[in-house]
């Protein structure tokens, strides 16, 4: 069960976020969980520590966060590390819905009195305090919903072999960072809209198509900027949506594929050895750097 609190929306810089950690199962065909023999991808270890625990530790250490809710199936809610945090009162649990977007919508409904919400994912073990600080500080500017993005060039400069989904706008290409702020009750409309788009999340042009034919044509002709797209989305949903640029290449690297797992492990191993992030990462010169967009 989850508690409620009286704050209904983001009031000022002193209001802390309620973090929702999305950790639901992607099913038996999840390549990362399957290869590791785990029921959930979030339980796969990176340098000896499960991804879920890394994210929970990061969230718990942020001064911007006053409450944490883990959205995951009961079998993970019952693992010792989670049970202990719940016992200590530092973590609450919420059952997931049929998909990540549907789970986020459930969180909006169940935690409507706990606004503002910070949505992060348990398959993002590189998430750190600095990233959360940057995002939360920027997200307090008053928009209903905010999403973290990183420029494609930044990601490629640091990890030229990494394959990420890229939205290529007129001003630049952008990668998602799996971090979102829902600052008002109106933000639920954006989450509901996302449930309609979820199946197309790896096909950027289909996402843009939902904004209208005009936006799609401008996108295909590379004449649509990120600001244009957000303005169209805001108008369509009757709210204010804003992107927050993340100056960290690692913010765009989650673990969806086995190649991502290898990359993240290499990053952590380099960090523990005191090397540069990409000093020991081998890049296949024949690999495509980004996914089709």
Domain assignment present for 202: yes
CA distance 156 to 142: 31
Domain assignment present for 6: no
Domain assignment present for 266: no
Examine the pLDDT at 278 and tell me if it is beyond 80: no
Reported confidence tier of residue 291, pLDDT bands at 50, 70, 90: low
Owner of token pair 């009031």: 11
Average pLDDT over residues 283-288: 44
Give me the number of domains the chain comprises: 1
Reported confidence tier of residue 1, pLDDT bands at 50, 70, 90: very low
Domain assignment present for 286: no
Q: What is the pLDDT of residue 274?
A: 75
Reported confidence tier of residue 13, pLDDT bands at 50, 70, 90: low
Range in 34-48, 122-136, 265-279 with the lowest mean pLDDT:
265-279
Domain assignment present for 280: no
Domain interval for residue 234? 17-252
Domain assignment present for 7: no
Range in 89-103, 201-215, 258-272 with the lowest mean pLDDT:
201-215
Examine the pLDDT at 122 and tell me if it is beyond 50: yes
Q: What is the CATH number of the domain that holds 25?
A: 3.90.550.10
Domain assignment present for 242: yes
Reported confidence tier of residue 271, pLDDT bands at 50, 70, 90: confident
Q: Tell me the per-residue pLDDT of 157-203, one tens digit each, with 9 for 90 and over.
A: 999 988 898 989 999 999 999 999 999 999 999 998 888 777 556 56
Domain assignment present for 52: yes
pTM of the model: 0.87
Examine the pLDDT at 42 and tell me if it is beyond 90: yes
Average pLDDT over residues 246-262: 96
Q: Tell me the per-residue pLDDT of 197-252, one tens digit each, with 9 for 90 and over.
A: 775 565 666 777 777 888 878 888 888 999 999 999 999 999 999 999 999 999 99
Calculate the average pLDDT of the chain.
87
């Amino acid at each position: 069960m989850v508690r409620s609190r009286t704050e209904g929306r983001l009031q000022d810089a002193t209001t802390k976020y309620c973090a929702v950690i999305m950790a639901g199962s992607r099913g038996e065909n999840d390549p990362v969980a399957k290869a590791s023999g785990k029921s959930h991808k979030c339980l796969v270890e990176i340098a000896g520590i499960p991804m879920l625990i890394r994210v929970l530790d990061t969230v718990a250490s942020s001064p911007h966060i006053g409450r944490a809710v883990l959205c995951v199936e009961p079998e993970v809610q019952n693992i010792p590390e989670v049970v202990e945090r719940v016992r200590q009162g530092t973590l609450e649990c919420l059952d997931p819905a049929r998909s990540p977007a549907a789970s986020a919508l459930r969180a909006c409904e169940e935690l409507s009195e706990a606004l503002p919400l910070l949505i992060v994912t348990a398959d993002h073990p590189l998430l750190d305090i600095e990233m959360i600080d940057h995002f939360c500080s920027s997200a307090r500017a008053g928009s209903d919903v905010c999403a973290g993005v990183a420029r494609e060039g930044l990601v490629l400069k640091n990890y030229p072999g990494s394959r990420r989904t890229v939205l290529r706008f007129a001003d630049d290409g952008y990668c998602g960072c799996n971090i979102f702020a829902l600052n008002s009750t109106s933000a639920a409309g954006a989450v509901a809209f996302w449930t309609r788009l979820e199946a197309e999340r790896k096909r950027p042009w289909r996402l843009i198509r939902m904004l209208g034919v005009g936006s799609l044509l401008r996108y295909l002709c590379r004449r649509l900027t990120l600001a244009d797209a957000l303005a169209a989305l805001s108008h369509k949903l009757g709210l204010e949506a804003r992107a927050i640029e993340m100056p960290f290449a690692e913010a765009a690297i989650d673990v969806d594929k086995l190649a991502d797992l290898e990359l993240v492990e290499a990053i952590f191993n380099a960090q523990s050895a005191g090397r540069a992030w990409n000093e020991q990462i081998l890049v296949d010169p024949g690999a495509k750097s980004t996914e089709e967009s």
